[in-house]
Amino acid sequence: MVTNDFPHITATLRSEHEILFSNDDTLIVFNKKAGVHIAEGRTDIIVEHIGRAAVCRLETTNREVFDYFSAAKRFRYSQICFQCRHKKKDGESLLKTPTGDEIRWIAETYGTTPEKIDRMRSENRIFVLRKGAEAVSYIGIHIDGSIGCLYTKPEYRHAGYATETEEELLKIAPEPVFAQILESNEASIALHRKNGWIFSNGRIYWLFNESF
């Protein structure tokens, strides 16, 4: 299968994974670290394999598969994303590891628990951009390798800090460098296009019972 246009597949195949099915036109692979099944190719083959497997998170570019399992109510939640990629940048990053107080701020604004953010910190997947002693933005790397959870304090917005934060992460993010953006998040899509991210054709369809 051609996977160059979709870095989430490349990232999975470079991490700990299990290939459940593969032929010339269909691939079903399990990302063990992220707990995500990725299914690409023929709808009938995917439906057969996923339909009988214990699947918590399913990711696909196949709209028919998304519609089938949505109609079957197999999963509690769904979302549709754009996917984009970028080249790594050289140089030493200005991003820093968050402190305890910053972890609580990140958890509150991101809508999760301090324990989860602390775990991300221990895995070098969450960072802050500081101006002086104050953190103005944060950004993270999801467990599947995608960049996400970019946030800037309201009083510092429209000053270029979101762009700077993401640019600094490009120096330390794992390859392939990619992000997934909700189809409805027009501001983030515009920011990424402005900053030179290359968008994949099509959409990424997510079905899941629990998030990362």
Whether 190 is in a domain gets the answer no
d(CA 16, CA 167): 27
d(CA 156, CA 37): 38
Whether 205 is in a domain gets the answer no
Asked if 147 and 80 sit in the same domain, the reply is: no
Whether 208 is in a domain gets the answer no
1 pLDDT more than 90: no
What's the confidence (pLDDT) of residue 6? 87
Contact 26/41 with Cβ under 8 angstroms? yes
Contact 58/37 with Cβ under 8 angstroms? yes
Look at the alpha carbons of 37, 45, 82, 94 in this order and tell me if their dihedral is positive or negative.
positive
pTM of the model: 0.89
In the listed set 29, 57, 84, which residue is the last one of a domain according to the structure? 84
Whether 74 is in a domain gets the answer yes
DSSP 8-state code for residue 57: E
Domain containing residue 121: CATH number = 3.40.630.30
Cβ burial, residue 95 (10 Å; 0-12/13-18/19+): buried
Asked if 12 and 78 sit in the same domain, the reply is: yes
**How far is residue 187 CA from its own chain's centroid?**
17
Given pLDDT bands bounded at 50, 70 and 90, which one contains residue 211? confident
In this prediction, what percent of the chain has a pLDDT beyond 90? 93
Contact 75/172 with Cβ under 8 angstroms? no
Instruction: Give residue 80's domain range.
Output: 7-84
